[in-house]
Copies of this chain bind each other. A is one copy, B any other.
């Protein structure tokens, strides 16, 4: 295994989306958790249906549609102000506490670092700058470039195409098991950040490594890089 670069997923992996759920509970007291769950579920569902059917719209649009559906389903009144507040929260996410230390370690080791996200370029630019992470990345790859969402092969293909290394020499780090498995299916070395310690999805494939934190992920990448230097 000869590792040349690492690509991170963004939402939920580098950036903590908890603040969105907290805002949801502020706006709809007692309903925040249920709204957040349904919103997230529908957001993913819509990315997949649109990808399968070739009906791409931006991640921001999908996120807003999913929010509207979730509020419809839970009979929560979503006015323009509430919608604006929740969508804005999405552009203002905090990094996980171990994000910057992990990126620093990788940078110091000379590893090429990037992100590969479903988010559209405008949203990615906003959130990565807002979280103080932008300077760590050599490349920012967005599903929008190919008008499909993960786990479409066309999305994962952006890594090898842009980095000019085969996927087997790139580690993809994601907190979504399905993303880590999708990347592995494509040919990446993949790392699942399993913060909650949940069971692995049963898709007939396993990530190459599993840990509990971004620090674990950075450790895995550095170890893989060192091995090849020996």
Contact = CB atoms under 8 A, between A and B. Distances in A.
Interface of A: 41-42, 44-46, 48-55, 57, 65-66, 68-69, 72-73, 151-153, 178, 181-182, 185-186, 198-199, 201-205
Given A44-B45, A55-B205, 16 more contacts: A45-B45, A45-B178, A49-B178, A49-B182, A50-B203, A51-B52, A52-B152, A53-B153, A53-B185, A55-B204, A65-B203, A65-B204, A66-B202, A72-B199, A72-B202, A73-B199
Contact of A53 (B53, B68, B182): B182
| Count of chain copies | 2
B54 A153 contact: yes
A169 to B, nearest CB: 20
A4 to B, nearest CB: 23
B73 A198 contact: yes
Contact of A203 (B49, B72, B73, B204): B49
B54 A199 contact: no
B182 A69 contact: no
Nearest to A149: B52
A31 to B, nearest CB: 16
A224 to B, nearest CB: 24
Contacts of A204: 55, 57, 65
A143 to B, nearest CB: 12
B185 A69 contact: no
A51 to B, nearest CB: 6
Contacts of A182: 49, 52-53
Contacts of A198: 73
A38 B140 CA distance: 34
A176 to B, nearest CB: 11
B46 A203 contact: yes
A69 B152 contact: no
A153 to B, nearest CB: 7
